[in-house]
């Protein structure tokens, strides 16, 4: 007999009691099981929850009494956020939950992001929020595979409008828990970054070549959230190696573009994962196309990739800043690093004759990489463009050498 999937329902039961019980009723009505978690501070739920607010606060290294005594709702909710994250992970590891749904306004959403971030990629995570899709949430706070729905008309009390959102979310998380094909570790996994097939093309050659060698390859779109997912998995040690060939999210973070967070290009090194690195699109800073060019990027060439995403070109001295930033991050790596430097350009738009070509800027970047490259990084200068076949040939040469030498594991 198949055991019904169990969903963790979390929220502030002192203020959202009716709404949270409604979520549970929908899940039960669809044949699921529910574990309830109270993350409130001041009030009490109408009936006991499976995980009490006292247990949550203790898991956050504190107590409800201390949270109340702080006299500050932000401090109190951070205690509860840390505890909720710890409790959710413990429940998942114990096999007691198959997915999670968290309900909240701005404070509940703040906590929900911590809770969901604690769970591995592949665990269904749903947030019903009055501030869904809001710029209040920076990319670095958003878990890699979270699902979010706007809690329309749901700031206070149940009504037919908010029930539509709540029932959809309840059905979605239970359906996801039933349908999810969790990541399998049947072959060693390679993490690769890119910026789409138009501007960077190496993945077309490298992905099948690496699969023929017995590896699984996951390619991440390095436009902010893709980088967050990549870094999340890298931090878990999920990759046998990374091919981080699109680090423009570092440039974005330095110059006010679509950042993936300050820890971009650090987690693989911390988890002792071998890294092959190349500076694909290092010279670009991405911004939201429909919002216009940000003030700090005005007066320079730009490329509209589509109506959502545009990119501005960095000036030569700014490229030197990026080069030093990349090298300083790689200097901390605790596993081998190979840096491939294509001397003829690092994205399709910067080829001679391209609308973003800047020979002076490329020369400045290459010069700074040579000067700043740390001793733990093996630098390979290539007389080709990043989208040329010679680039892929060199990547595979280094990769195969690392496999033969045991740097990259070929078995799980």
Nearest residue to 205 via CA among 149, 148, 239, 243 = 243
Provide the percentage of residues in the chain whose pLDDT is more than 70: 100
Provide the percentage of residues in the chain whose pLDDT is more than 90: 71
Say whether domain 6-179 belongs to CATH 3.60.15.10: no
- pLDDT tens for 104-159 read 988 999 999 999 999 988 899 999 998 888 778 877 788 878 999 998 887 778 89
Predicted local confidence at residue 300, as pLDDT: 85
Nearest residue to 207 via CA among 345, 392, 346 = 392
- pLDDT tens for 10-37 read 999 999 999 999 999 999 999 999 999 9
- pLDDT tens for 203-230 read 999 999 999 999 999 999 988 888 888 9
Terminal C-alpha separation, the chain: 32
Q: What is the pTM for the complete model shown? A: 0.81
The answer, yes or no, to whether residue 188 has pLDDT greater than 90, is yes
Distance CA(236)–CA(234), nearest Å, equals 5
Spell out the residues 6+ positions from residue 208 whose beta carbon is closer than 8 angstroms to its own. Answer: none
Mean pLDDT highest for which of 112-116, 254-258, 290-294? Answer: 112-116
Distance CA(157)–CA(209), nearest Å, equals 56
Predicted local confidence at residue 229, as pLDDT: 86
Q: Which helix (H) or strand (E) holds 76?
A: helix 73-93
- pLDDT tens for 329-377 read 999 999 999 999 999 999 998 988 888 889 999 999 999 999 999 999 9
Calculated CA dihedral for residues 158, 160, 164, 165, nearest 10 degrees = -40
The answer, yes or no, to whether residue 1 has pLDDT greater than 70, is no
Average pLDDT over residues 278-298: 87
Per-chain mean pLDDT for the chain: 92
Domain 6-179 identical in fold to domain 189-404: yes
Question: Cβ(13)–Cβ(45) under 8 Å?
Answer: yes
Distance CA(291)–CA(118), nearest Å, equals 33
SS3 state of residue 154: coil
Question: What architecture is the 189-404 domain classified under in CATH?
Answer: 3-Layer(aba) Sandwich (3.40)
- pLDDT tens for 36-64 read 999 999 999 999 999 999 999 999 999 99
Q: Which helix (H) or strand (E) holds 177?
A: helix 160-179
Nearest residue to 374 via CA among 345, 339, 322 = 339
Residue ranges of domains in the chain: 6-179, 189-404
Q: How confident is the model at residue 100 (pLDDT cuts 50, 70, 90)?
A: very high
Q: What are 331's two structure tokens?
A: 């200097």
According to DSSP, the residues that pair with 9 across neighbouring strands are 36, 101
Number of residues assigned to the chain = 412
């Amino acid at each position: 007999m198949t055991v019904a999937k169990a969903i963790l329902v979390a929220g502030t039961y002192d203020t959202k009691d009716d709404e949270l019980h409604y979520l549970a009723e929908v899940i039960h009505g669809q044949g699921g099981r529910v574990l309830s978690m109270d993350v409130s501070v001041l009030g009490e739920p109408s009936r006991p929850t499976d995980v009490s607010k006292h247990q949550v606060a203790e898991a956050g290294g504190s107590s409800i009494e201390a949270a109340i005594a702080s006299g500050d709702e932000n401090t109190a909710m951070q205690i509860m956020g840390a505890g909720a994250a710890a409790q959710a992970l413990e429940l998942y590891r114990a096999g007691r939950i198959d997915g999670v749904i968290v309900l909240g306004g701005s404070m509940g959403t703040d906590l929900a992001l911590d809770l969901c971030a604690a769970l591995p990629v592949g665990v269904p995570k749903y947030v019903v929020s009055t501030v869904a899709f809001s710029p209040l949430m920076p990319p670095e706070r958003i878990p890699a595979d979270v699902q979010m729905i706007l809690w329309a008309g749901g700031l206070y009390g149940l009504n037919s409008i908010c029930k539509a959102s709540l029932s959809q979310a309840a059905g979605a998380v239970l359906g996801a828990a039933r349908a999810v094909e969790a990541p399998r570790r049947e072959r060693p996994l390679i993490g690769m970054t890119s910026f789409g097939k138009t501007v960077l093309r190496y993945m077309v050659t490298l992905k099948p070549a690496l699969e023929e060698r017995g590896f699984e390859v996951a390619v991440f779109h390095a436009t902010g959230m893709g980088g967050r997912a990549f870094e999340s998995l890298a931090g878990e040690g999920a990759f046998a190696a990374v091919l981080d060939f699109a680090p423009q999210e570092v440039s974005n973070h330095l110059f006010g573009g679509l950042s993936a967070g300050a820890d971009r290009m650090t987690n693989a090194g911390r988890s002792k994962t071998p890294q092959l690195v190349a500076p694909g699109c290092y010279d670009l800073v991405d911004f939201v196309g429909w919002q216009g060019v940000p003030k700090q990027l005005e007066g320079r060439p730009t490329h509209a990739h589509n109506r959502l995403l545009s990119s501005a070109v960095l000036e030569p001295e700014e490229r030197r800043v990026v080069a030093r930033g990349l090298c300083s991050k790689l200097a901390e790596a605790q596993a081998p690093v190979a840096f491939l430097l294509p001397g003829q350009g690092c994205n399709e738009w910067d080829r001679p004759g391209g609308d973003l070509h800047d020979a002076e800027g490329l020369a400045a970047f290459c010069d700074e990489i040579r000067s700043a490259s740390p001793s733990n990084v093996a630098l390979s200068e290539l007389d080709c463009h990043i989208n040329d076949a010679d680039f892929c040939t060199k990547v595979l040469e280094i990769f195969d050498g690392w496999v033969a030498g045991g740097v990259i594991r070929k078995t799980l």
